[in-house]
A = this chain, B = another copy of it.
Amino acid sequence: MRPMGQLRFELHTTADDSQARAGKIFTDHGEIETPIFMPVGTAGSVKAVSQAQLKTDVQAQIILGNTYHLYLRPSLDILQSAGGLHKFIGWDRPILTDSGGYQVFSLANSRKITEEGVVFQSHIDGSKHLFTPENVMDIQRVIGGDIIMAFDECPPYPSDFPYAKQSMQLTHRWLDRCFKRFNETDNKYGYTQNLFPIVQGGTYTDLRRESCEYIAAANASGNAIGGLSVGEPEEMMYALTALCCENLPVEKPRYLMGVGTPWNILECISLGIDMFDCVMPTRNGRNAMLFTSKGIINIDNKKWENDFSVLDAGFDSPVSNYYSKAYLRHLIKSKEILGLTIASVHNLAFYLYLVKESRRRIIDGTFLSWKKEQTGILKTRL
């Protein structure tokens, strides 16, 4: 065991023909090979997937928890009594928690933003709550993620320049308050937590550049890019991601929040992103959409009714190489819970395969040509 301490990033390889990087993140709960995809475990569970399946089938190296959900249920009292989220859910690898900022805007019944923070109503019981930069640090201390996120405002798309600017500036002021509180408080459970700041700035390159500078100056152990993949065109997302990567430190991991499709992930790896999370593999899986090495399958389509080939023979996966398309279609049509599990496990395993294969190819120098070839394949509707 190495001594406990702050997250460390080792950059192993940067591609010659793109900005793609292969590296490794060291945390007190173990190592993470980058680029990495992080399954989303919203309320303390990656939906429909067991912790054993996450290890064996998905080969997840780190998962996410959502502060908004966990704060409301099971509540901080219970998480603290449990000794933090790792112990509560039975997961001994790294965890990242978001700050709740995004959920307050997307899920809460109502919300009111002030300089102080955000007052919102729970989507569960309508109760009123206040999130501030300070208490969101305290909350994430209790939840106990290895990586915790700054409290930010995620402006909608489209937002006009004045709003995006004002919102970015608020996020920056909140960031200072986050770091102040974070630095005044201690790790609760004997391992080190790490605070990542978040770049905002809407779709405006000047604002994004300014935000990157502000965020980089915080000298955190990693940096995140927020406010993308919220409805803007794909090309705009790529351009802004590229710009942020150029303006964030090389020696720190870069985390693109909430992105995306398999081809989004390959493209953004080529731009210099190291970490991804997205509900797409699990949410779309529960809605019968499979991402495979040959393209997209809508498994409830009648064409798969008599297709007894396995879900995906294109990569090594106990679940994807075991169950047939016809069987999964039957399960989904019959509303069997196992169908949701198989689709979710397959999609996550495929995402983890994609980032692992990307890493291998970045190291051996074949990433860019492979990415170009894959993009068309991954988008194919089978």
Q: A306 contacts which of B78, B318, B339 (Cβ < 8 Å)?
A: B78
Contact B327 A89 (CB under 8 A): yes
* Alpha-carbon distance A92/B52, docked complex (angstroms): 22
| Minimum CB distance partner of A336 in chain B | B45
A338 at the interface (CB under 8 A from B): yes
| Minimum CB distance partner of A77 in chain B | B306
Q: Shortest distance in angstroms between A57's beta carbon and chain B's nearest beta carbon?
A: 8
Range of interface residues on A (Cβ < 8 Å):
35 or more
Q: Which residues of B contact A50 (CB under 8 A)?
A: 53, 338, 341-342
* Alpha-carbon distance A357/B295, docked complex (angstroms): 49
Q: Shortest distance in angstroms between A119's beta carbon and chain B's nearest beta carbon?
A: 24
Q: Which residues of B contact A83 (CB under 8 A)?
A: 308
A31 at the interface (CB under 8 A from B): no
Contact B337 A90 (CB under 8 A): no
Q: Which residues of B contact A337 (CB under 8 A)?
A: 45, 47-48, 337, 340-341
Contact A331 B45 (CB under 8 A): yes
Q: Which residues of B contact A53 (CB under 8 A)?
A: 50
- A47-B336, A78-B330 known, 17 other contacts, Cβ within 8 Å: A43-B334, A44-B327, A44-B334, A45-B339, A48-B337, A50-B53, A50-B338, A50-B341, A73-B330, A74-B305, A74-B326, A78-B326, A82-B324, A82-B326, A88-B324, A89-B327, A337-B340
User: A interface vs B, CB < 8 Å?
Assistant: 43-53, 69, 73-74, 77-78, 81-83, 87-90, 305-306, 308, 318, 322-324, 326-327, 330-331, 333-334, 336-342
